[in-house]
C-alpha cells in the first residue's frame, strides 16, 4: 500500500477557499502528499476582503496538533495565520519538539490589506517562531513589518534576507512579487532564496492576471510538500515556484474582487 508523504498546515480558514487552510490542502493534494490541518482561526472572507476573523483558543490549537502528530505523524509542517502572541508562542513550542522541515509563512496582511497579525505578536514571531523555521517565506510587506526594511529593488532583497536570517531560520525565501513590474515583455517576478552563503534567484514571467488570492499560502505549502517528499531546500523552492506560477497563470475570477489561483491547472493541462 502506498502511503503518501504527510504534511501539516497550521493556519487560518478562508471561507472563500482562496487562501489559508483551503489553499494549503489543495496544494498538498496536487503535489502528491496527504494534507492535514490545525485550524488557528476562522475568517469570513471572499474575493473582496476579510469581513471577520475569530481566533481559536490555544488549547484547541494544541489539541489538534497533538492529535495529528502523535497518531498519523508528519514529514513537514507549514504555518500561516497565527493572529496573536499567545498562538504564535503555542505553535512555536509545539514545533520545537519536531525533527522535520518547517516552513514559516509569517502572514501579517491579507491580499486585500486586512491585518491578520496583532502588532503585539511581532516580537513573538521574531523571537519564538522564526527560529523554528527551516525556511521562512515573507513577502515584502512582511519583511517591512518584521525588520523595518523597505525593499524597492532587487538589490535590497539581499539585505532583507540577511535581516530575516538574523532571527534564526536556516533559510529565507524573500518573495519579490510585490516589486514594481518593469515595462518590458521580459519582466519577471523574482524571489531570493538564501541561507546566508548560497544564493538562488528564482525567476518566472509575470502574468497579466490580477486573480492572485492565495499565492503566498500556495508557495509555502508547495515548498513544505516538496520537502516532505525529500527535496533539498533549493530543489523544493524551485518546484514550488513552478507550481505557484502555473496556478497563478491559470487563476480564475470568482466573485467581484481578486479571485484565487487555480490549483487544478496541471490536471486540466493549463499553461
Q: What is the pLDDT of residues 8-20, one digit of tens each?
A: 999 999 999 999 9
Assess whether pLDDT exceeds 60 at residue 261.
yes
pLDDT score, position 2: 87
Per mean pLDDT, which range of 95-104, 111-120, 256-265 is the poorest?
Answer: 111-120
**The model's pTM:** 0.94
DSSP string, 68-83: HHHHT--SEEEE----
User: pLDDT, tens digit, for every residue of 156-165?
Assistant: 999 999 999 9
Give kind and range of the element (H or E) at residue 142: helix 140-147
193 sits in which H/E element = strand 188-194
Mean pLDDT, rounded, for 211-234: 95
CB 192 within 8 A of CB 176: yes
pLDDT band at 271 (very low <50, low <70, confident <90, very high): very low
The DSSP letter of residue 136 is: E
Confidence class of residue 177 from pLDDT cuts 50, 70 and 90?
confident
Least confident window among 23-32, 211-220, 248-257: 248-257
Question: CA torsion sign, 159 to 118 to 223 to 202?
Answer: negative
- Dihedral angle of Cα 129, 85, 71, 218, to the nearest 10 degrees: -60
Residue 76: strand pairing partners: 7
Q: How confident is the model at residue 202 (pLDDT cuts 50, 70, 90)?
A: very high
3-state helix, strand, coil in the chain (%, to 5): 35, 25, 40
Over 90: is that where the pLDDT of 191 sits? Answer: yes
Among 9-18, 55-64, 87-96, 186-195, the minimum mean pLDDT is found in 186-195
Integer angstrom CA distances of residue 163 from 4, 64, 199, 248: 36, 33, 15, 29
Q: What is the pLDDT of residue 27?
A: 98
Residue 133 in grid coordinates: 523555521
pLDDT average, residue stretch 110-139: 84
Active-site residues: which are they? 175, 212, 214-217
Amino acid at each position: 500500500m502506498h502511503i503518501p508523504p504527510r504534511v501539516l498546515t497550521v493556519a487560518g480558514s478562508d471561507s472563500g477557499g482562496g487562501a489559508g487552510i483551503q489553499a494549503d490542502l489543495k496544494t498538498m493534494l496536487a503535489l502528491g502528499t496527504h494534507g492535514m490541518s490545525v485550524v488557528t482561526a476562522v475568517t469570513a472572507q471572499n474575493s473582496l476582503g476579510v469581513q471577520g476573523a475569530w481566533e481559536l483558543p490555544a488549547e484547541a490549537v494544541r489539541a489538534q496538533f497533538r492529535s495529528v502528530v502523535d497518531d498519523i505523524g508528519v514529514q513537514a509542517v507549514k504555518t500561516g495565520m497565527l493572529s496573536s502572541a499567545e498562538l504564535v508562542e503555542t505553535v512555536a513550542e509545539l514545533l520545537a519538539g519536531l525533527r522535520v522541515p518547517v516552513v514559516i509563512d509569517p502572514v501579517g496582511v491579507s491580499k486585500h490589506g486586512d491585518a491578520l497579525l496583532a502588532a503585539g505578536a511581532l516580537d513573538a514571531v521574531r523571537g519564538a517562531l522564526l527560529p523554528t523555521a527551516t525556511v521562512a517565506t515573507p513577502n515584502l510587506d512582511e519583511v517591512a513589518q518584521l525588520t523595518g526594511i523597505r525593499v524597492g529593488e532587487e538589490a535590497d532583497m539581499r539585505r532583507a534576507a540577511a535581516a530575516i536570517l538574523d532571527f534564526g531560520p536556516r533559510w529565507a525565501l524573500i518573495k519579490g512579487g510585490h516589486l514594481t513590474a518593469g515595462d518590458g515583455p521580459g519582466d519577471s517576478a523574482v524571489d531570493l532564496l538564501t541561507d546566508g552563503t548560497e544564493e538562488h534567484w528564482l525567476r518566472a514571467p509575470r502574468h497579466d492576471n490580477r486573480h492572485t488570492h492565495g499565492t503566498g499560502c500556495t508557495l509555502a505549502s508547495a515548498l513544505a510538500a516538496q520537502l516532505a517528499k525529500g527535496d533539498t531546500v533549493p530543489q523544493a523552492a524551485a518546484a514550488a515556484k513552478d507550481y505557484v506560477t502555473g496556478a497563478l497563470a491559470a487563476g480564475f475570477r470568482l466573485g467581484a474582487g481578486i479571485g484565487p489561483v487555480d490549483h487544478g491547472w496541471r490536471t486540466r493541462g493549463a499553461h
